[in-house]
Structure 1
Amino acid sequence: MSKLKMSSSQMVNDARERIEEVETADLIAQLDSPDVVVVDLRDIRERQRSGFIPGSFHAPRGMIEFWVDPDSPYFKDIFAQEGKKFVFHCASGWRSAITTATLQDMGFEAAHLKSGFSDWVKQGGPVEMPEQKS
């Protein structure tokens, strides 16, 4: 395989230089704010296995650009809310950094949870587990 023009780690680093990063403790403190919308980009299997931030909205990484675009047939109304601060997260902050930079390029303002869900759990942030189907 030939060398890539840019590594994934370089993409993450470049994104982090130009987006807002939210520290875990700050998001824990803001969790009950009606002005904050937490968006979980992880795969549904990650949410089922590890749980999720209470009240978070699940938006799979593969669809997010389409879900935030009002001209897309896949647009989700949650992203039309004015005056909200959208904070995206994944497991470790890599996918959410790239996602947030991409959305910013589209004109959608957002931030991301710098150290991801794994740090959220480590710092004692509340976690809700999905209901088990019988």
Structure 2
Amino acid sequence: MPITPVKSLVEHAKTEIETLSQEDVQEQAAAGTAQLVDIRDIRELKREGRIAGAMHAPRGMLEFWVDPASPYHRADFITDKKLVLFCAGALRSALAVKALQDMGVENIAEMEGGFGAWKSRGAPIETD
């Protein structure tokens, strides 16, 4: 059986998830109605920088940290704020949002263009 290309998986996920514009994400984060969740690898954060106030949750641990029944559960995910996931370029985040929706997480979206677009447009970042 042939492997479904990741491009197809991302395209399909994007039809079933909410994608917020960079500006909407920045406004919601400033208003305190959204919690940004950076799912990039820690090496990416060190190399490229980070968005102030964004929670880091590596993609490989995300489902485990969200699930209250998991021994790895993180209370940070119990919030009334909209969870807005982002990665470098809005590919991994699309798959991650879809996976969390499939788990039952409802107040969730991804950020259009990811961290790369955030940085390119000159939005504020922190560096080590």
Verify same fold: TM over 0.5: yes
* Match runs of 1:1-134 below 5 Å: 3-4=2-3, 6-81=4-79, 83-109=80-106, 110-130=108-128
For residue 70 of structure 2, give the secondary structure of its aligned residue in structure 1.
coil
Q: Comparing both structures, which one devotes a greater share of its residues to helix? A: 2
Q: How many residues align?
A: 127
Superposed CA RMSD: 1.1
With normalisation by structure 1, the TM-score equals 0.91
Alignment-mate amino acid for residue 3 of structure 1: P
- The sequence identity of aligned pairs, in percent, is 43
Q: Runs of 5+ in structure 2 lacking a partner? A: none
Greater shift in the superposed pair: 118-127 or 42-51: 118-127
Flag as ranges the 4+ runs of structure 1 deviating above 6 A: none
Inter-partner Cα distance in structure 2 for 1:65 and 1:76:
10
Q: Runs of 5+ in structure 1 lacking a partner? A: none
For residue 31 of structure 1, give the secondary structure of its aligned residue in structure 2.
helix
Deviation sequence 1:24-82 (CA, Å, 0-9, x none): 1221222312221000000000000110011000000000000000000000001112x
For residue 31 of structure 2, give the secondary structure of its aligned residue in structure 1.
coil
